[in-house]
Amino acid sequence: MDQTDYNKRTIVKRQIASEFLGKERNLWVYLPPGYTELITYPVIYCQDGIEFLNYGRIATLTNYLVLEEDLIPPIIIGIEVDLPERTAEYSPTGTRYKAYSHFVVNEVIPLIERQFPVQTDVAARVLAGDSLGATVSLHLALDYPELFSKVLALSGAFLDPTLRRLETVDNLSDLDLYMLIGLQETAVKTDIGEFDFLEYNRKAKQLLELKQTKLTYREAPGRHIWGFWQNELQAALRHFLARDR
């Protein structure tokens, strides 16, 4: 199949006037090849939504995987990030974390489930994020285990607050977590300082294994950039969407 076929993406836009965030937020909704309202689909909720579409090329990659490898077709939701408030909303210690959590749980999910034929059971939802977006995805799964049991984490900022939270959890055997971290991510600059993400992810891995998480952990050569994550995203999508899982 010609490469241009994979680039024929169907993406529709929705907007929410969020009561919890106090402002309007955009959603981009990817509909897979062969989309029909006669069946239901698993759903992937992406933090940094437009970045996942533009830099991660998640729609094009998913088209390829569905058409060429017969992966289960998903609906993908790209949630707009408010860049000036990103740390406040995505960090578990951020001043707007609770508001963002309520936005996702009480506004985004109900809207998507009203307007699109997505599966509504916990096993059919995946939370995806990069860096701090992976952090908020993991914490949402920890805070709302009745809603989320699958997380795709690209170079998660799993710093001390996340490690402390993981220490408090008794058992995570219901959590299916795919973790990717780059071997060159040893001095990542953030809004609150420079951190060795590789070491922090290794510490998180130990805690997650101790808590019996269904963990797929991958270290690979790469830096804290979308060029690295894009190249690794197909493997993560296969993990959650393969028919023989």
The confidence score (pLDDT) of residue 1 equals 42
Average the pLDDT over 135-155 and give the result. Answer: 98
Tokens of 176: 């299916």
Main-chain phi, psi angles of 129, to 5 degrees: -165, 160
Higher pLDDT, 4 or 12: 12
If phi > 0 it is left, if psi is from -120 to 50 it is alpha, else beta; for residue 210 that is alpha
The confidence score (pLDDT) of residue 82 equals 96
Percentage of the chain surpassing pLDDT 90? 94
Identify the band that residue 4 occupies on the pLDDT scale cut at 50, 70 and 90.
Answer: low
**For 78-113, b where at least 16 C-beta lie within 10 A, e where not — what string?**
bbbbeeebbbbbbbbebebbebbbebbbebbbeebe
Tell me the C-alpha distance between 15 and 225, whole Å: 28
The confidence score (pLDDT) of residue 42 equals 98
Identify the band that residue 6 occupies on the pLDDT scale cut at 50, 70 and 90.
Answer: low
Angle at 147 between CA 199 and CA 34, to 5 degrees: 95
The confidence score (pLDDT) of residue 209 equals 98
- What pTM did the predictor assign? 0.95
pLDDT tens readout for residues 79-98: 999 999 999 999 999 999 99
The confidence score (pLDDT) of residue 8 equals 75
Tell me the C-alpha distance between 111 and 233, whole Å: 27
Tell me the C-alpha distance between 7 and 83, whole Å: 27
Q: Does the pLDDT of residue 171 top 80, yes or no?
A: yes
Q: Where are the alpha helices (DSSP H) in 144-191?
A: 160-168
Q: Does the pLDDT of residue 71 top 50, yes or no?
A: yes
The confidence score (pLDDT) of residue 245 equals 65
pLDDT tens readout for residues 187-224: 999 988 999 999 999 999 999 999 999 999 999 999 99
Q: Does the pLDDT of residue 13 top 80, yes or no?
A: yes
| Amino acid symbol at 162 | T
Kindly list the domain boundaries of the chain, sorted by start residue: 3-241
Domain 3-241 belongs in CATH node 3.40.50.10380: no
On average, the pLDDT of the chain sits at 96
